[in-house]
Amino acid sequence: MSVRQSLLAILNQGPCYGYQLRAEFDRRTGSTWPLNVGQIYNTLDRLERDGLVRKADIDADGQNYVEITDAGSAEVADWLGSPVVRTMATRDELAIKLAIAVTLPGVDIAQVIQVQRTATMRTLQELTRTKNATADPESSEQLAWLLVIDSLIFAAEAEARWLDHSEHRLARARAAGLAEPLPLNTEVPKRGRPAKTAAAARA
Amino acid sequence: MTDSDILLQLDGVSMQYGRGETAITALAGVDLSVSRGELVAVMGASGSGKSTLLTVAGGLTPPTAGEVIVEGHWLSQLPARQLATLRRRSLGFVFQDFNLIPSLTALENVSLPLELDGWTSKRAHRPALDALNIVELGDRAQHFPSDLSGGQQQRVAIARAVVGGRSLILADEPTGALDSTTGELVLRMLRSRVDAGAGGILVTHDARHAAWADRIVFLRDGRIVDESRASAVTSLLSGLPA
In sequence order, what DSSP letters do the residues of B74-122 get, joined into one string? EGGGS-HHHHHHHHHHHEEEE-TT----TTS-HHHHHHHHHHHTT--HH
Work out the angle at residue B82's Cα, subtended by the Cα atoms of residues B81 and B83, and round it to the nearest 5 degrees.
90
Residue B128, domain member (yes or no)? yes
pLDDT below 50 — which residues of chain A?
none
Please tell me if residue B225 touches chain A, with a CB cutoff of 8 Å: yes
Chain A nearest C-alpha distance from B127 (Å): 28
Residue B131, domain member (yes or no)? yes
Residue B129, domain member (yes or no)? yes
Range of B186's domain? 37-59+82-230
Residue B2 binned pLDDT confidence (cut-offs 50, 70, 90): low
CA–CA distance, B113 with B124 (Å, rounded to integer): 9
What pLDDT is stored for residue B164 in this prediction?
Answer: 82
- Residues B195-236: pLDDT tens digits? 989 999 999 988 999 999 999 999 999 999 989 887 754 555
CA–CA distance, A34 with A27 (Å, rounded to integer): 10
What was the ipTM of the complex prediction? 0.79
CA–CA distance, B200 with B169 (Å, rounded to integer): 5
State whether B242 and A132 contact (CB < 8 Å): no
- Residues A97-121: pLDDT tens digits? 998 998 998 889 989 999 999 999 9
Tallying the residues shown for chain A, one arrives at: 203
Q: Which helix or strand (DSSP H or E) is residue A76 part of?
A: helix A70-81
The CATH number for B92's domain is: 3.40.50.300
Probe site for chain A from B212, B236, B238 (most A CB atoms < 10 A): B236
- Residues B33-82: pLDDT tens digits? 999 999 999 999 888 899 999 999 999 999 999 999 999 999 999 999 99
What pLDDT is stored for residue B240 in this prediction?
Answer: 58
Pairing of strands B168-172, B199-203: parallel
On average, the pLDDT of chain B sits at 89
Is the Cβ–Cβ distance between B128 and B75 less than 8 Å? no
AA identity, residue B157: A
- Residues B89-145: pLDDT tens digits? 899 998 888 889 999 999 999 999 899 888 999 999 999 999 898 888 999 999 999
CA–CA distance, B236 with A127 (Å, rounded to integer): 7
What pLDDT is stored for residue B194 in this prediction?
Answer: 92
Residue B201, domain member (yes or no)? yes
Please tell me if residue B195 touches chain A, with a CB cutoff of 8 Å: no
CA–CA distance, B189 with A88 (Å, rounded to integer): 41
Residue B7, domain member (yes or no)? no
The candidate with the shortest Cα–Cα distance to B220, out of B37, B44, B31, is B44
N-to-C CA span, chain B:
34
State whether B242 and A139 contact (CB < 8 Å): yes
Is the Cβ–Cβ distance between A161 and A108 less than 8 Å? no
Residue B24, domain member (yes or no)? no
* Closest CB from B208, B238, B241 relative to A157: B208
CA–CA distance, A17 with A46 (Å, rounded to integer): 15
Inter-axis angle of helices A2-11 and A37-49, to 10 degrees? Answer: 80
Segments making up each domain of chain A, as ranges: 2-81, 93-175
B192 vs A contacts (CB less than 8 Å): none
Q: For B214, which residue in chain A has the nearest alpha carbon?
A: A125
Pairing of strands B215-220, B223-229: antiparallel
What pLDDT is stored for residue B232 in this prediction?
Answer: 54
What pLDDT is stored for residue A68 in this prediction?
Answer: 96
What pLDDT is stored for residue B1 in this prediction?
Answer: 54
What pLDDT is stored for residue B20 in this prediction?
Answer: 84
What pLDDT is stored for residue A51 in this prediction?
Answer: 96
CA–CA distance, B223 with B75 (Å, rounded to integer): 21
Residue B14, domain member (yes or no)? no
Contacts with A140 (C-beta within 8 Å, 6 or more apart), sequence order: none
Tallying the residues shown for chain B, one arrives at: 242
B242 vs A contacts (CB less than 8 Å): 139, 141
State whether B228 and A118 contact (CB < 8 Å): yes
Residue B200, domain member (yes or no)? yes
AA identity, residue B100: L
Number of domains in chain B: 1
Which fold, A2-81?
A: Arc Repressor Mutant, subunit A (1.10.10)
Probe site for chain B from A32, A124, A131 (most B CB atoms < 10 A): A124
Residues of A within an 8 Å Cβ radius of B = 27, 30-32, 110, 114-115, 117-122, 124-130, 132-134, 139, 141-142, 144-145, 149, 153, 156-157, 160-161, 164, 167-168
State whether B218 and A142 contact (CB < 8 Å): no
Probe site for chain A from B228, B229, B233, B235 (most A CB atoms < 10 A): B228
